[in-house]
Structure 1
Amino acid sequence: MKIYNNPSPETWSELSKRPQLELEFLDSSVRNVLNRVKKSGDDALREFTLQFDKVSIQELRVSDAELNEAEQSLPASLKKAITTAAANIEKFHAVQKRDVLKVETTPGVVCWRKGVAIEKVGIYIPGGSAPLFSTVLMLGVPAKLAGCKEVILCSPPDKSGKINAAILFAAKLVGVTKIFKVGGAQAIAAMAFGTQSIPKVHKIFGPGNQYVTKAKQLVMEEGLAIDMPAGPSEVLVMADETADASFVAADLLSQAEHGEDSQVMLVLNNEAILAAIQEEISQQLEQLPRKSIAEKSLANSRVIILADEQKALAFVNEYAPEHLIINTKNAEAIAGAVINAGSVFIGNYSPEAIGDYASGTNHTLPTNGFAKAFAGVSLESFMKYITFQQLTEEGIRHLGPVVEEMAEAEQLAAHKHAVSVRLARLKA
């Protein structure tokens, strides 16, 4: 990790830059995948699965027998852990439901806003070395609570042609309606355009590699909604001399093992604890199965030392981290002043890993500084809000003349007439 002692605010923008994904070179190859799936449907999906996943799949949809087999193969302890996490996620998201509130803006004019579930949503779940069954919970639970009629899940098969058993168990638990053995950009294409087997959806959720990320960007150009701009995962740990060095190191490494392009940032108020943290990182790193990945991630990471607490907080808000861990003596006060972050973890005993799995908050969060303008996935991500208004005779009498005046000023005669014709009828 590179160390920056008391950097000036003029350099903060540069220090906040993330490792850049080289997406441009992918454009033509991903467009080719999208076009082939759009044209050839399931046949293209089978070809790409053989090419990229090295397995031949005839039946793309996961059968009930496969779901039951997956459930039986998992240890009871893991199933209990997944069920506990799902319950917490459901509790947190259930309270996000809004009541329909009607307001009379003018006598006789009543307006309201009602949430309606997105009918068809697609969930992409990466497989490979880290099959993210936890993301199934994070996306499937709010989709179910929102009332989405169709929830499609795509995930790449392994060399034996199967999807990870924990992913299948979690999907069945949260009520996913259809599961398909398709990964990569071709899965995004299938959900975006529809194939003979896979239904077209209205919005796609879920993380993925650079091919998946590029595919989500490209299908947006064709009018399909996605959850949010995506990029490599990241954490910023803000610590002082009261922090436990082993905790800080563990938090940094838990993020670094995600991927080589993940970024970890450490903001300290002085150098007193830095040596202890570095020693802990070295020791803990040796125990990690994904050591080589974490090492490459640490090479993209930085230590920022800012003695002034307000400056440190200002830097945190400038960086706008996906995950923010505040491990200081006045952690709650600092947390209250955070305005740019995806999810905040307060105090010594609140590791990011808890939010990744089971506290109840959603781990699908904005990265790459998008926390300045975007929120993480919530119940509302699976809903759309429709506004309503209803006017009585009294209402049109009160508000009609206002609209007539405004429409005439904008030179929209038909708009004015739509009101005038009603007022004339009432005067007759």
Structure 2
Amino acid sequence: MKRLVILGGGESGVGTALLGKAKGFEVFVSDAGSIKQAYKDVLINNGIAWEERQHTAAKVLQADLVMKSPGIPEWAPLVKQLREQQVPIVSEIEFAARFTQATLVGITGSNGKTTTASLTHHILKQELQVGLAGNIGHSFAKQLLLNDKAVYVLEISSFQLDDIEQFKPHIAVLTNITPDHLDRYENQFEKYIASKFRIAENQTSSDYLIYDADDKVITNWLSKHPVKSTLLPFSLTQPVSQGAYLENNNIIITIDNNKIHMPTNNLALEGKHNVKNAMAASTVAHLLRIRKQTIRESLENFHGVEHRLENVLKINRVQYINDSKATNVNATYYALESMEAPTVWIVGGEDKGNNYEELFPFVNEKVKAIICLGVDNEKLLKSFSSMVDVVVETQFMSEAVKIAYKLAAPGDNVLLSPACASFDLFENYEDRGRQFKEAVRNL
């Protein structure tokens, strides 16, 4: 019996443990932190061995195969030891994909992947048996085990792609690539780009890569590192012969000389970046032979994901907007770009080596006050103090929202779009977004 050791007892770890046990592995789950009670109960009820607050080297190093949580970096001492002993280490996506015949749609990118994955799933589920997994919702492994679907839409992070071997989506989507998580890639942007492109590395000419042709990082990389897949670019600025482009507010999708037109004036999601997300999702749907009418209606009634430019409440004609999912500068760029009114901007958190320069034009034009919400705001203060008259610092969400309430005038927006990770003051970006919404409701 092969021994499967799982590092990390969260959603993906416990899902993998259940699937591994069902497939005949001897399973052991090890977490350096504490495992949530709900997950412990699942492990206990299924007779799966586990430990928390430690990794017992003797138990881990006996593995025939290791699945590591995406949060554990390559330089962790135990990972190094496993590498030295040549024990294969895979991600949940790699492990689970071995046990399904489903058509896989893999979506990655620095921004837009959650919205694109959710929108793609929303369109496909109208006509197909489809699951949504990966970096979103219930674990892929657990879904396969409980109810294997015909199609899976997988939102995949670079960390999950780092640990694939044979994983191959039939349709891969690359939304964009901007500097993010560079702390995990030795501050080398090239390594991060290479990691994202692993989504296509096992693809063949019968598979598809849908990508943003307006993104110079992607097009430059493709020109130097060609892939085997059939390329389907999407663009807001130039016509493409295969793929999707925008002309007179219509998305035009062409695949094998089959053209469809989708008007964008009724899209439920606003902003240029959402036109791109709609192009990517529609192209996937078109490849999977979803009817045009279904695609059109789905784009018109899809209202986005929580914590991504989510309108919370209007109080005294001030709109409060939760964009807590903006954990990098590029995501905040889209948020500020879409602001149509003077904006009080709540920003800050754990900086991942951010360069705020690309935000300067929007800050000059649209931002009337900045509230820095983080443990260390020095870089923000240095970047923006000269541009905005009012810059305030705080370490409490409730206080940030109260200050915003005082600073905003009727007709303004209050935008939480942090451009940073949340781990300095919050459990995760969801916790940060929920605290924001609660504070707004308590005004």
**What's the TM-score bracket when you normalise by the shorter of the two chains?**
under 0.3
TM normalised by structure 1 equals 0.25
TM normalised by structure 2 equals 0.24
| Greater strand share, structure number | 2
| Greater helix share, structure number | 1
Larger-Rg structure? 1
Structure with bigger RCO (C-alpha 8 Å, 6+ apart): 1
